[in-house]
Structure 1
Amino acid sequence: MLTFAICSLLIAVWLMLAVWALQRKKRRDTESADDALKLIASLKLEHHVPTVARLGGIMGITPARMMHIIDGLLEQRWVQLNDEELSLTDDGRQRAVHLLRAHRLLETQMVHDAGMPLDQVHQRADRAEHRITEEQLTALNEHLGFPSYDPHGDPIPSSNALTAEDKAISLANWEVGQPATVVHVEDEPPSALRKVLAKGITPGQTLTVTARDEKQLTMDIDNTQHQLANTLALGVQVRPVAEQPSLMVVQPLSTLDVGQTGRIVAISPACQGFSRRRLLDLGLTPGTLITAQFGNLGRSATAYKVRQTLIALRQEQAKQILIQDTATIDQESSTLNYVI
């Protein structure tokens, strides 16, 4: 009797493990198929020919495994295969749009609502994008305020169409002395992204390359000099700064010494979502005067006077607020346009 019970238990456990393994394989196959659809769509947008070999190389899987994935896509009628070239059917394109839209909206939510670091959201969004429904996406898009771009600078597609990304230039090839606006930061590999972010390079940030040699470039960001390896600069896309009638030199609030007063010009474009709303709720709006009152030991935080109220800001928060030192303000230049 005892032997029968043990055997029954072992069989039950074996069946549970078999079902779990089958479900895990099915989930892995679905995720791989989704990844292939996204990749085909992205290659098409970049005017590259999506072939079976190219997909396998980018996804880092064997030819046999790649063909297994393609067979599944063909069976679901999501792709067509002409010799080696792959193309999306209408249903396949709709699925690819959903996945790209889900990925980029999820990344936006993670950064803006949850305050997650930019280098940690890509892989999390990769895992979550396969399970979110169209109804959930619609609600999420509305909650986020219908953003046009994700935190990396990639355009968020509409619910029924893919949009080709505007042409930009790699920072590695940008002309010395010309101001530029960062429009995209490559999210992989994460180690490279972390190094780029550590230099203050985020979509919306303006910078000027001041020098370059065969190994690295030097750039000015908010009146601070930074060096970046040319290999990392390849993953940063920039465009010319929009021309303005006149320029105002700005600096981060964090550079203001105790006792000095500045006039707020703007909050950095890199500060978005909840963090941006929090600063605005504190009254840190363009044109407001702000005075550094006192800081703690090491200046990790500083108390500022804003509209007769003291507020404390951490160093990283103060870096996101751009000001003009009132000592440099020309009273006759109040009509200048602020350029960030």
Structure 2
Amino acid sequence: MNWMLWMALAVVGGLMVAWPRRGLWARLREARRLAERARREDALKHILKTEANGREATLESVSGALQLSPQKAAGLLAELESGGLISFEGGRMQLSPQGRELATQVVRAHRLWESYLADRTGLTEEQWHRLAERQEHLLSRQQTEALAAELGHPRVDPHGDAIPEPGSALPADRGASLNSLEPETPAVITHVEDEPQPLYARLAREGLRPGVKICVLERTPNTVRLWGQGREHLLSPVEAQSIGVEPLSDTSLRDLQGEVFLHQLAPGQTARVVELSPACRGLERRRLLDLGFVPGTRVTVDMASPLGDPRAYRVRGSLVALRQDQARWIRVEPLPAEAA
């Protein structure tokens, strides 16, 4: 009996490995095929984004962006050239019409999927890019257009990047680098680079998102000290380089420093909601609106936990608990004691 059992197990094991489509070898081949396809599309995406921002893609830039050795990057570019997706004219790397169409589709799918994750799920910002990096290679054109329709055809993604339309040119990243902003010049964040991931996660934790108004207070060779969302932020020049900004002509540093946010109120203090930060979006924004934090609504700090976070706020007769990182998205106008 033992030999029959072992034979049956061997047959089952062989089927699990060699079964067409479902077997281990078939899955490994499919995974390898998808990985190779993703590398090709990532290279095309890098070339397209580099070109859109007025720079020239090179072997070194492709190698760095895809984290490949120069030898492997050269082999990948040769593969793209033989497939008619890129060409080299005068020593410059250029996308063919077919390569440009494919690269635009990948960028469009990525930014739409990030918009979906931001608006329709409770996933954190640190997760959006990683998941979209995988999904961008899996969405067909039909699925991408269905997703765009479901989202109401958004024009920009959560990082402030334009979502290209099919057949159109990819717009350049909006705004100039924060490193180029003169001190005491108010500006609005228009773009936050989502790579590398650890750097983006750090900026997300600081609450520096597209739509947030900021102003550089001081710049040294090693630090950039800025004001935004009711507090100071200390960045390195590398972190500041990942933020795109546009100057605000109708706002002063005094205006920004005079803004008050809900988390800054003292217990017992009453204020009127002015607005939710434009950087607060998706489920986070809908939840605050559903709780009653709409412009014009009065809110009173009722009590704080022993550690100060969360705090309880009285809104429209209800008691609502918010964490400090949620309350900082709500700009308010403190009311005099007699008006409260």
The TM-score bracket by the shorter chain reads 0.7 to 0.9
SS of the counterpart of 2:227? strand
Say which is worse superposed, 225-234 or 58-67, in terms of deviation.
58-67
Q: Does the C-alpha gap of structure 1 residues 7 and 257 become closer, same or farther in structure 2, counting only changes over 3 Å?
A: closer
SS of the counterpart of 2:273? strand
TM-score normalised according to structure 2 size? 0.86
Q: Does the C-alpha gap of structure 1 residues 196 and 162 become closer, same or farther in structure 2, counting only changes over 3 Å?
A: same
Aligned 1:143-154 pairs, distance under 5 A? 143-154=150-161
Per-residue deviation at 1:55? Answer: 2.1
Query: Is 2:280 aligned against 1:271?
Result: yes
Unaligned 5+ segments in structure 2 are: none
User: What CA distance in whole angstroms lies between the structure 2 residues aligned with 1:252 and 1:10?
Assistant: 63
Determine the structure 1 residue equivalent to 2:306. 297
Q: Deviations over 1:67-125 (max 9, x none)?
A: 44334434443223336433222222221111001111111222222232222221221
Per-residue deviation at 1:241? Answer: 1.9
SS of the counterpart of 1:262? strand
Q: Deviations over 1:244-274 (max 9, x none)?
A: 6995832111111121111111101221012
User: What CA distance in whole angstroms lies between the structure 1 residues aligned with 2:82 and 2:15?
Assistant: 33
Using the aligned pairs only, state the percent identity. Answer: 30
User: What CA distance in whole angstroms lies between the structure 1 residues aligned with 2:337 and 2:185?
Assistant: 24
Q: Does the C-alpha gap of structure 1 residues 139 and 193 become closer, same or farther in structure 2, counting only changes over 3 Å?
A: same
SS of the counterpart of 1:158? coil
Determine the structure 2 residue equivalent to 1:284. 293
User: What CA distance in whole angstroms lies between the structure 2 residues aligned with 1:278 and 1:143?
Assistant: 20
User: What CA distance in whole angstroms lies between the structure 2 residues aligned with 1:28 and 1:107?
Assistant: 21
User: What CA distance in whole angstroms lies between the structure 2 residues aligned with 1:63 and 1:227?
Assistant: 36
User: What CA distance in whole angstroms lies between the structure 1 residues aligned with 2:338 and 2:77?
Assistant: 63
Q: For the Cα contact (< 8 Å) 1:264–1:285, is it kept in 2?
A: yes
Q: Does the C-alpha gap of structure 1 residues 96 and 329 become closer, same or farther in structure 2, counting only changes over 3 Å?
A: farther
Q: Deviations over 1:14-54 (max 9, x none)?
A: 64444333322211111111111111111211222334454
SS of the counterpart of 2:216? strand
TM-score normalised according to structure 1 size? 0.86
Of residues 107, 119, 123 in structure 2, which corresponds to 1:116? 123
SS of the counterpart of 2:312? strand
Q: For the Cα contact (< 8 Å) 2:49–2:170, is it kept in 1?
A: no
Determine the structure 1 residue equivalent to 2:322. 313
Of residues 246, 270, 291 in structure 2, which corresponds to 1:261? 270
* Residues paired across the two proteins, number: 330
Query: Is 2:55 aligned against 1:34?
Result: no
Q: Does the C-alpha gap of structure 1 residues 232 and 51 become closer, same or farther in structure 2, counting only changes over 3 Å?
A: closer
- CA RMSD, 1 decimal: 2.9
